[in-house]
A and B are shown apart, each in its own frame.
Chain A
């Protein structure tokens, strides 16, 4: 009994003295919050990271600026190890906020480079991913105004656009869309300017590669509505009249309140697939200088006009998607689910550009502010 007690106590002592194998102090790491991947002409990976710097004072922590470092290597993990040769403390990417992919890099299969983010249990799967028109290092090297962190800036930029339904919100990990042959995904496209970054639209991917084509900001809201992904606000601008003076009275700004989407896929045989997309929107008028909303006849007329314009735009968007061979609406998955035998015989990548699409948008103006 005595030996048991002694050994037990010594075991506890040993554990406490030599233990804490997994200690990973917050003060000993350099948090990488923004990361960018580019590719060189000979296939090497160039990674740019943005590390926030801050000063601690009596008022608390104050962030000053970001430190941006670039390094090249064979794989992203290799680059990380090499970065450790440059960074003062340990590299830690568990709080990654944004991951930017350079245009050239995105044009080849991106799933290979993202592997490192899904394998490490500590890594953050929730980082916002985006494509850069240019190179990621250009974007991350932008000199922002004082006391603004690059990663915070980009991440809040993307977030605010997600709330206004210009960019899609990631409800599922990117991984599940990447490996699904029945759907393709879209990522935000950002262009670096002198002192800021600008969102250009949605980059369309086919397979796991960037097609080079993108939907502009104008189209991305409508596209997201077609994909049944409305967020808090969704603002659409249309030119409903011509030749009115002043010029701005030709336009109308709508905010979508509710949407109902009906997607029907009709498969006769593998070469004759038609898709009908019906979208019912309840909208609110945000700005309409024409001031004609006091009569019901005018409202009906406006409804019809806006509906036909939006239907045209929807069809245009679909044509763009077909041209890029990017099945962003997930039609393939529909076919897989409801017409499974056809799906087995189908070569989706070939057939998708030839599908008949018919987009019908019906709007109903339900609110128009406190003013007619």
Chain B
């Protein structure tokens, strides 16, 4: 147990999970899933959310065996120091690559929609510096900030409800016309947008309260995220229609562009500017996870120093990666497959091994 971190309440845990999951997914999710499951994309999203719930229960079962350890600490207990070392490095690389993907997607989004001529490096530099600025403090400070940012999500939901009037249900009927296999393919595509709940591997021990309460909070957060994603996909499909969706990579922004209000015209611009904070929260969590893992490996160094080094490395790496669609698709595919292993497979293996070996951690001090 890293005693340097103060503990967060369950209420704050909810917002941490919620805001890490919602981020870039909201904007391109309907398009990505549509490519596979067309007018039944919303069903794929709901099924994906359901799978994530199962995954969260799995992570919680693993957590229950070691109530006060993060996954990094758990690993050395369960499989021994040397294998744990390899796994830890693997996890750290996984978390950093997700962070890189998020940063690239953020850069691309702002480049296309808001400020086309500003060079990428300056925007990414500022974003990474701000994330480092927040993550160098302990978890409670981050939790406070996440709560403040959650108001932008409420703003977003209000915006979306304003154009429910224009939807045409006929667009998604008949339900299920694309067939089961493509729905499943769509589910696999949408899992990428649900990423964020694996932070529970590290954050569960840092929150107060009984473990059942934490499970409830995590399931609730994911449930709300699923509902929001499904709702957005549904609205995009019914509003724009399946014939046009394949032409619009960011349907939500397109719809917002179309619906203006009396005093504001380009609503998509305003929404995207407010949403930048939510992008930031997703990136921040992955930076935190990476620095936490590194701090676990190099126990002598301060976590914030490791954080600075990681951030600088990531930034330099990002500068060298060209931001075109091919590269981003490549990285997303890699992360999709990696996530199956790291988030589902590895905790499964750890759980079984710990049950077989009979290892159990000390009961949690609330």
Contacts and interface: CB of A to CB of B under 8 A. Distances in A.
B244 A176 contact: yes
A173 interface: yes
Contacts of B268: 121
Contacts of A337: 170, 173-174
18 contacts: A11-B125, A21-B117, A22-B115, A121-B113, A125-B254, A172-B239, A173-B240, A173-B244, A173-B254, A175-B244, A176-B243, A176-B244, A178-B244, A179-B241, A336-B170, A336-B173, A337-B174, A338-B173
B43 to A, nearest CB: 16
Given A176-B241, A176-B243, A340-B174, A125 B119 contact: no
A334 B170 contact: yes
10 tightest A-B CB contacts, nearest first: A337-B173, A171-B166, A179-B243, A22-B115, A176-B241, A337-B170, A21-B117, A21-B118, A176-B244, A179-B244
Interface string B253-275: 01001101000010010000000
Contacts of A180: 241, 243-244
A68 to B, nearest CB: 24
Interface of B: 112-119, 122, 125, 165-166, 168, 170-171, 173-174, 177, 239-241, 243-244, 247, 254, 257-258, 260, 265, 268
A21 B114 CA distance: 12
Nearest to A333: B170
Interface string A1-18: 000000000010001000
A333 B116 CA distance: 38
Given A19-B122, A22-B118, 13 more contacts: A21-B117, A21-B119, A22-B117, A121-B112, A121-B257, A172-B168, A176-B241, A333-B168, A336-B170, A336-B173, A337-B170, A337-B174, A340-B174
A180 to B, nearest CB: 5
A21 B119 CA distance: 8
Given A21-B118, A22-B115, A333-B170, A125 B241 contact: no
B263 to A, nearest CB: 14
A113 interface: no
Contacts of B171: 333
Contacts, number: 69
Given A172-B239, A180-B243, A126 B173 contact: no
Contacts of A330: 170
A175 B246 CA distance: 12
A22 B241 contact: no
A222 to B, nearest CB: 22
A187 B346 CA distance: 59
Contacts of B241: 172, 176-177, 179-180
Nearest to A340: B174
B240 A21 contact: no
Instruction: Using C-beta atoms within 8 Å of the partner chain, give the interface range for chain A.
Output: 20 to 34
Contacts of A126: 258, 260, 265
Contacts of A172: 166, 168, 239-241, 258
Nearest to A23: B117
A57 B119 CA distance: 40
A181 interface: yes
Contacts of B113: 121
A276 to B, nearest CB: 17
A124 interface: yes
A22 B110 CA distance: 12
A152 B174 CA distance: 43
Contacts of B112: 121
A116 B244 CA distance: 16
Contacts of A21: 115, 117-119
Nearest to B176: A340
Contact of A176 (B116, B125, B240, B265): B240
A13 to B, nearest CB: 13
Interface string A195-223: 00000000000000000000000000000
Contact of A125 (B115, B116, B243, B258): B258
A338 B177 CA distance: 11
Nearest to A172: B166
B235 to A, nearest CB: 12
Interface in A111-150: 121, 124-126
Contacts of A179: 241, 243-244, 247
Contacts of A336: 170, 173
A125 B177 contact: no
A336 B39 CA distance: 12
B303 to A, nearest CB: 19
A177 B239 CA distance: 11
